[in-house]
Structure 1
């Protein structure tokens, strides 16, 4: 009980013998390059589908925190290069902290997916909206346990309130009927900031929020037509959103990891509303109808895919000796464990 007593330091290594084989410097998960390309492809595919979040996939495949922290270091590197102090040294320091072994393959996978798989996927969503929503509903539902696992420990009443509030906010947000607006420059920048925020938040889809704001089709047309003016404004908003949201999420993950994961759990739970298979174009929810058992099977298949990914991830963790407690400690850092 007393920090200064001799038996406690002596007994600590024996009680925590497994970490002695994996020193703190090796805490990051060792993932294969092809595996990271596949993870990036999964994120890229779902980001084109309104209602499914790339952040959710990043959580499920176990690279969410690594991507947020790496993006935060990229933002910090740019800030140090522009504003100083020690511009060159600070720039190199932050870039060295980026987990390029994860980031580069993930980006390659995302781009490849957008150029190949995203088109057929969007056609499936358009041609079979009910079945595809059911499939994604099952996937997200099975994914809710991921941030809960990362939070660690039993859920207390006050923490349950965090989950509930986040769920209600997400539910209300995704209940807003879609609109159509003129793509004014200020609106394009703001919409891009919102969309990139959703990319980083599990449970919220950037494509879905663009659809809600009324800029989903104009943005797709701008990409198809290579509208440089529109795309320049959109990328400006995305960059501003990245600076604000990435650093904010990085700070929350570093200092309030458990509460952040519980809030993300609520966001995912509330956002399930948009994936309910039976709903009208104005997002009015309906009771199950028709061949409801087909949608049930699709949801079960989606859940099975996610559960399979989680089983594979658990086996990789067991083989590398990188458990959930090591992951949380690696994210929070030793300074956050101090009273």
Structure 2
């Protein structure tokens, strides 16, 4: 229970930082498959299984809420004021965790199909990153307080894509919102407690989460290894998006290296504690 709540807290924090994927964090923490299964099969599962899913999802949800309320402001402050160091910490976590993802394969040898799926994920994420450069930085639009019919549809679509991105490791939902020009708008809706537009985004997010979770769950069950290679390709390419650059001064350089090492150490420590348990 405690592990699921902590995992949910990390997922919640990750989803508000542009460039960091909540799906990646879920995968690295070992709750990704259970999460996609619980969401994707919830409506078709028997009663006993459904109760198990409810218990698991409620623990994750509690963690997400805690992460957003308690840690999100701290991480947001660190990211805004110490972006380089915070990014290197996330890089350390992800780089150290990638080999752990490979341990979930059925076949330990990578065949040509696995290599192709890895390459496909890599190129898809690179294409996603390049597209970002054509859409600016997502400044607030004039539609912020005018819910026209077209804008309602756009908010639901934005929520759907962001929700789907929460399920797919490597793709940041908040970054998608930046690309669509809605990231700061939605933050404004939340900060000003505007229930209707927030509800529209939430409806879209629910559609995206459930829909993509069903797809990923089926793929992991029918084409497990190739799906994992595809996901790893997404994550590897997403490291470029998280990379903040490197300040060429002795003090900053040493600090970044130490923080990067701290991220790696935390992953190894968590793995050791899990093994001992």
Look at both structures and tell me which one has the larger radius of gyration over its CA atoms. Answer: 1
Are 2:117 and 2:227, in contact at CA under 8 Å, matched by a contact in 1?
A: no
* Residue 192 (1) aligns with residue 159 (2): yes
Number of aligned positions between the proteins = 262
Query: Could you list the runs of 5+ residues in structure 1 that have no partner in the other structure?
Result: 1-32, 78-89, 279-286, 317-339
The alignment's TM-score, normalised by the length of structure 1, stands at 0.72
Query: Could you list the runs of 5+ residues in structure 2 that have no partner in the other structure?
Result: 144-150
Q: Would the alpha carbon gap of residues 137 and 301 (structure 1) be closer, same or farther in structure 2, given more than 3 Å must change?
A: same
Secondary structure at 1:142's aligned position in 2?
helix
* Residue 117 (1) aligns with residue 71 (2): yes
State how far apart, in whole Å, the 1-side matches of 2:259 and 2:129 are: 22
Are 1:69 and 1:250, in contact at CA under 8 Å, matched by a contact in 2?
A: yes
* Residue 173 (1) aligns with residue 141 (2): no
Return the offset for 1:94. Answer: 5.8
State how far apart, in whole Å, the 2-side matches of 1:188 and 1:75 are: 25
* Residue 164 (1) aligns with residue 131 (2): no
| Structure 2 residue aligned with 1:243 | 210
Structure with more contact order per residue of length (Cα contacts < 8 Å, sep ≥ 6) = 2
After TM superposition, list the pairs within 5 Å mapping 1:120-269 onto structure 2.
Answer: 120-152=74-106, 153-175=108-130, 176-177=132-133, 178-180=137-139, 182=141, 184-269=151-236
The alignment's TM-score, normalised by the length of structure 2, stands at 0.87
Return the offset for 1:241. Answer: 1.0
State how far apart, in whole Å, the 2-side matches of 1:240 and 1:298 are: 37
Return the offset for 1:148. Answer: 1.7
State how far apart, in whole Å, the 1-side matches of 2:276 and 2:237 are: 30
Are 1:61 and 1:313, in contact at CA under 8 Å, matched by a contact in 2?
A: no
Return the offset for 1:39. Answer: 1.7
Q: Deviation per CA, 1:192-227, whole angstroms, max 9, x where unpaired? A: 111111111122221222122221111111111111
